[in-house]
């Protein structure tokens, strides 16, 4: 009965979703149909290349998150599957602008972000959300380390914020980066959200309100 929720629900939304595992693909097909959401569902790995990669072909149960492309054989079948770079996908699908890009690929988020380099350079994404873990995207295979990625996004016009479990957001870009990294950068696990233009201004407004959050809310 919330008027704002009714207004949002009446908006036309088009979702482009990507998933690696067959069991999760089957559930997503059901969910999109059940909620009558206009969508394009792609069975593929997402990263910084487009092409073919080794992917799991067998089911491991709906909701499983740890599988990855080019994973070593552990008794389950492996086959050549599709890999997608989102820069290429948006060009092929003629997507001029994405209001929200949400990434959750268990620590490989840096590769997906760098697969959006052309799109981000042109500020054709409003809001980015990605997941952090203890590794902070370190290692050559995972793209740039986390702090370098944050600085790279800042140079493209995107300011980033850490999302806390309570809903508060804390700035982690520009001058706030050093304080954040010294405080909890090596231990933080959760999501970051980044925005540009009017989206960034809204995030900055929310972060300003979060200055009233207690220590428990921001930890």
Q: With contact defined as beta carbons under 8 Å apart, do 138 and 205 qualify? A: no
Q: Round to whole Å and give the CA distance between 34 and 50.
A: 31
Return the bridge partners of 163, or none. Answer: 169, 191
Query: Could you give the residue ranges of the DSSP H alpha helices within 35-161?
Result: 86-92, 109-114, 117-121, 146-155
Residue 168 pLDDT class (50, 70, 90 cuts): confident
pLDDT of 162 > 90? The answer is no
pLDDT for the residue numbered 64: 78
pLDDT for the residue numbered 105: 86
What's the whole-number average pLDDT of the chain? 79
Residue 163 pLDDT class (50, 70, 90 cuts): confident
Q: Round to whole Å and give the CA distance between 170 and 162.
A: 5
Q: Round to whole Å and give the CA distance between 29 and 6.
A: 24
Q: Which of 48-52, 114-118, 120-124, 207-211 has the lowest mean pLDDT?
A: 207-211
pLDDT for the residue numbered 210: 78
| 172 CB burial (10 A radius; 0-12, 13-18, 19+) | buried
Q: Measured in whole angstroms, how far is the alpha carbon of residue 153 from the centre of its chain?
A: 14
Residue whose tokens read 């552990």: 74
Q: Other CB atoms closer than 10 Å to residue 90's CB: what's the count?
A: 20
**Buried-exposed string 140-160: b where 16+ CB fall within 10 A, e elsewhere:** eebbbebbebbebbbebebbb
Picking from 50, 51, 62, the residue whose alpha carbon sits closest to that of residue 22 is 62
Question: Reduced to 3 states, what is the DSSP secondary structure of residue 119?
Answer: helix
Q: How many helices (H) and strands (E) does the chain have?
A: 9, 10
pTM score of the predicted model? 0.81
**Average pLDDT value for residue range 136-159:** 71
pLDDT, tens digit (0-9, with 9 covering 90-100), for 42-59: 999 998 889 988 877 766
Tokens for 18, please give them. Answer: 């990507």
pLDDT, tens digit (0-9, with 9 covering 90-100), for 171-208: 885 455 444 444 444 444 578 899 999 999 999 999 88
pLDDT of 159 > 80? The answer is yes
pLDDT, tens digit (0-9, with 9 covering 90-100), for 67-82: 777 644 455 556 788 9
């Amino acid at each position: 009965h919330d008027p704002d929720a009714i207004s949002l629900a009446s908006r036309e939304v088009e979702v482009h979703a990507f998933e690696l595992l067959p069991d999760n693909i089957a559930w997503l097909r059901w969910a999109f149909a059940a909620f009558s959401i206009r969508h394009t569902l792609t069975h593929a790995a997402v990263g910084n290349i487009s092409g073919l990669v080794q992917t799991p072909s067998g089911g491991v149960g709906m909701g499983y998150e740890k599988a990855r492309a080019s994973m070593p054989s552990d008794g389950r079948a492996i086959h050549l599957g599709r890999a997608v770079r989102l820069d290429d996908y948006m060009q092929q699908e003629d997507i001029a602008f994405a209001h929200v890009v949400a990434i959750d690929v268990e620590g490989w988020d840096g590769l997906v972000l760098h697969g959006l380099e052309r799109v981000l350079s042109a500020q054709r994404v409003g809001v980015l959300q990605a997941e952090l873990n203890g590794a902070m995207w370190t290692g050559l295979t995972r793209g740039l380390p986390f702090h370098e990625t944050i600085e790279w996004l800042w140079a493209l016009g995107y300011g980033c914020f850490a999302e806390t479990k309570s809903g508060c957001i804390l700035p982690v870009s520009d001058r706030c980066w050093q304080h954040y990294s010294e405080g909890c950068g090596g231990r933080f696990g959760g999501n970051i959200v980044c925005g540009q233009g009017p989206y960034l201004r809204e995030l900055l407004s929310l972060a300003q309100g979060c200055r009233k959050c207690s220590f428990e809310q921001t930890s």
